[in-house]
Amino acid sequence: MNHVLLTVSGVIPNNIEQQIAAGRRPRADYLELARHFGADLLDYRTARATSGIVGRLFERLGGPNLMLAWACFSRRHRYQAIFTDGEQVGLPLAALLKFFSPNRRPRHLMIVHILSVPKKMIFLDRFGVHSHIDRFIVYSTWQQRFITERWQVPKQRVPFTPFMVDDQFFHPRYAPPRPTNRPQICAVGLERRDYPTLLRAVTGLNADVVVAAASPWSKQRNSTQGQPIPPNVQVQKFSQYDLRQLYSDSRFLVMPLEPVEFQAGVTAILEAMAMERAVICTRTPGQTDVVVEGETGLYVPPRDPEALRSAIERLLADPDRAARMGRAGRRLIETTMNLDHYAVRLTDILYETISETGVDLPPLQPKERL
């Protein structure tokens, strides 16, 4: 029996292994983590099929993530650790553990995207469920500071780790750039994107702009809707496979963000860097831990179309500098921010957390170390 349960807030595609093997999509982080952890995976489909009448009731009351939390809780005696893939599952699980199994529980590790929003702050303030989260794993140093200061959680329990990208899939060798009539740049994603500022910044620009306003994870609306679209701008959706070619065909990525306190945009930023593309990014409280100013890209102030236009024009006018930044970004991905490094870092955090219980676990196999 595996000693770790890992949640997936979604449905794992039946053909995912075949898609990965065929090179049609990146490796899935949860599959790599499960391999490193020696974990069982629990997604919506499995939880729904096994959590019974109580699980169905929870899903009616609070949606599939509450049902997934219940499914974890009902399995709590089988595992030494439960690793939840976000606060949407981790917070209700922590509440169940605190109020219905206070004295005997597995270690609980939770990936944090953002806790600095009113409903989550009120929940944690009122119910104190942070006592039943042994590790808050954060991708943003801003979130790390916020959690340690607001709830007086020791910093050891709030480890920061950079996010990741599958740099074996997002690699320039698989998508050589195609010739274009004039320079092309791109912007990608939905989560808290400030596309109105981008559209104002690129109006009349002597370059084509492709906005891939879609995301398999975000429920945010497309902020290009209702905006006048300049003639040099194209808005469309891309698969992850097609995104790889879009990055390659573009001189660099522009990541226009609303002022946010979490790592909005990080997936697209890392994908572009893996494809050797520089990044122009809005400097926000939450998005300061990936782009290295002047080395892998440029930061611009939020909601400032003039500053964004200036940064875009500077990189368009200096393609050699943009190319140097792109190569530096690829090196950073290879040494720090790829999926393999990420899996090892999280495995180390997991083993450290379980070791606090006095349980000895088998060491990682050498092939799993980098």
DSSP classification of residue 295: T
Is the predicted pLDDT of residue 366 greater than 80, yes or no? no
Q: Look up the CATH architecture of domain 4-164+338-368.
A: 3-Layer(aba) Sandwich (3.40)
In this structure, are residues 185 and 254 in contact, taking their beta carbons and an 8 Å threshold? yes
pLDDT at 132: 97
Question: Among candidates 198, 207, 158, which has minimal Cα distance to 180?
Answer: 207
| pLDDT of the residue at 202 | 98
Helices 266-274 and 319-332 pack at an angle, to 10 degrees, of: 110
If one compares 168 and 362, the residue with the highest pLDDT of the two is 168
| Interstrand relation of 184-188 and 208-212 (parallel, antiparallel or unpaired) | parallel
DSSP annotation string for 256-290: -B-S-SS-TTHHHHHHHHHTT-EEEEE--SSS-SS
Q: Write the pLDDT tens digit of every residue in 121-141.
A: 999 999 999 999 999 999 999
pLDDT in tens, 302-355: 999 999 999 999 999 999 999 999 999 999 999 999 999 999 999 999 999 999
C-beta of residue 246 within 8 angstroms of C-beta of residue 214: no
Q: Do 74 and 51 form a contact (C-beta atoms < 8 A)?
A: yes
Q: What is the predicted pLDDT for the residue at 364?
A: 45
Answer with the residue of higher pLDDT: 215 or 92.
92
Length of the chain measured in residues: 370
- CA-nearest of 35, 37, 5 to 20 is 35
Residue 1 has pLDDT above 90, yes or no: no
pLDDT at 104: 82
> Which of 23, 29, 22, 66 shows the shortest CA–CA distance to 44?
66
| Digit-coded pLDDT (tens) for 45-84 | 999 999 999 999 999 999 999 999 999 999 999 999 999 9
CA nearest neighbour of 291 among 258, 256, 338, 329 = 329
Confidence (pLDDT) at 368: 42
Judge contact between 286 and 280, C-beta under 8 A: no
b/e map of 257-284 (b: 16 or more CB within 10 Å)?
A: bbbbbbbbbbbbbbbbbbbbbbbbbbeb
Range in 155-159, 216-220, 261-265 the model is least confident about: 216-220
What's the pLDDT band for 158 if we cut at 50, 70, 90? very high
**What is the signed CA dihedral for 339, 340, 344, 350, rounded to 10 degrees?**
40
As a whole number of angstroms, the distance between CA 316 and CA 176 comes to: 19
Residue type, 354: I
Is there a shared CATH topology between the 4-164+338-368 domain and the 172-336 domain? yes
Q: What is the pLDDT of residue 360?
A: 54
Percent of the chain with pLDDT over 70: 94
State the pLDDT at residue 2.
66
Mean pLDDT of 133-160: 97
**The domain defined by 172-336 carries CATH number 3.40.50.720:** no
- How much is the pLDDT for 103? 78
Reported as a single tens digit per residue, the pLDDT across 165-208 is: 999 999 999 999 999 899 999 999 998 999 999 999 999 999 99
The residue that leads in pLDDT, 338 or 218, is 338
- For the chain, give every domain's residue range: 4-164+338-368, 172-336
Give the model's pLDDT for residue 365. Answer: 43
Two tokens at 31?
A: 């599959």
Question: According to the model, what pLDDT value does residue 222 have?
Answer: 83
Asked if the model's pLDDT at residue 248 lies above 50, the reply is yes
Helices (H), the chain: 16-21, 29-37, 44-50, 52-62, 64-74, 87-100, 118-127, 141-150, 195-202, 240-249, 266-274, 305-317, 319-332, 339-355
Question: b/e for 327-351, b at 16 or more Cβ within 10 A?
Answer: ebbbebbeeebbbbbbbbbbbebbb
Do 32 and 25 meet the contact criterion of CB atoms below 8 Å apart? no
The pLDDT assigned to 215 comes to 65
Quote the mean pLDDT of the chain: 94
